[in-house]
Amino acid sequence: MDGIRATLCSRNAHKARELERLLPGWTIEPLEAEGWPEETSTTYVENARAKAQFGREVLGAGSWLIGEDSGLEVEALDGRPGIESARYAPEGAPAIAKLLEELAGVHERAARYVSELVCLTPEGDEVRGSGTLVGRIAEEPSGSEGFGYDPVFVPEGEERTVAQLGDAWKERNSHRARAARALLAALGGALVLVAAGCGGMDRDTKQVLNAFFAGGPVARALGARFPHKPGTLPCVLHDKGVTLQATCATDISLVKPARAVVTLTEAWNHGAQAHTWFFFIRRDGTVQSVIQEGRPAPRR
């Protein structure tokens, strides 16, 4: 598979470029269109869905379409600007100045970034990914990278703003990065079908997975309980002497001629909790990098 070409149903070129970096092997372009619908929904996901559906109206069926909505929620402002973040003030310095003015003299400055992604596949299926980043609002802007409110948003556990931490940090940790990884995990099955054609596992997919599970010690250890083909198997976890029934799922997306993403997910407590590995690998199974999401599963 030569990768996926998708349209971000937004006029924000910053977001299109950021998502392209966050979704390995994808080519993403912003939607050029007139007559955009007003964002009248009360939730991020409804706004994101409306944008993706507008893209379907403009481009027709048969395309990969992504709708995204995000916002900054400030606790001291009762969650504002929230879903109105894009309309709070012109992006950049004007919006930051207005936010800091509203927070003048406020000591409790807890806030969070929220991102919702809704993807419509060429077949019309909907897949979602959600992400949040918790932090606080700084007293003054600092840093030159990122965009939006990044110069005044200090993530939890950090002393610098997102704009100071830089784009490389943001690609690993931002709310949009987390939403993109969740979207990739949810899309795993759909991407396998794209790579393999009409269902089942094609020869390339099988070879790549076999090479991965035969690779380094981490992959070999995980291979003892995860299926060696796309799918889910029952597995068992242990928490303080209590045996938990769980599921171990494998997905793979062949996103470039030389690259793939293997997603391994352990889920327990009836799916309420999960831990996921995203292995970015070469076709020979060699691991290039790995990202983990969620709380590690309990062990003996």
Catalytic residues: 69
Tokens 């800091």 locate to 100
Q: From residue 100, how far is each of 85, 87, 269 by CA, in Å?
A: 14, 16, 42
DSSP 138-163: -SS---SSS-TTGGGEEETT-SS-HH
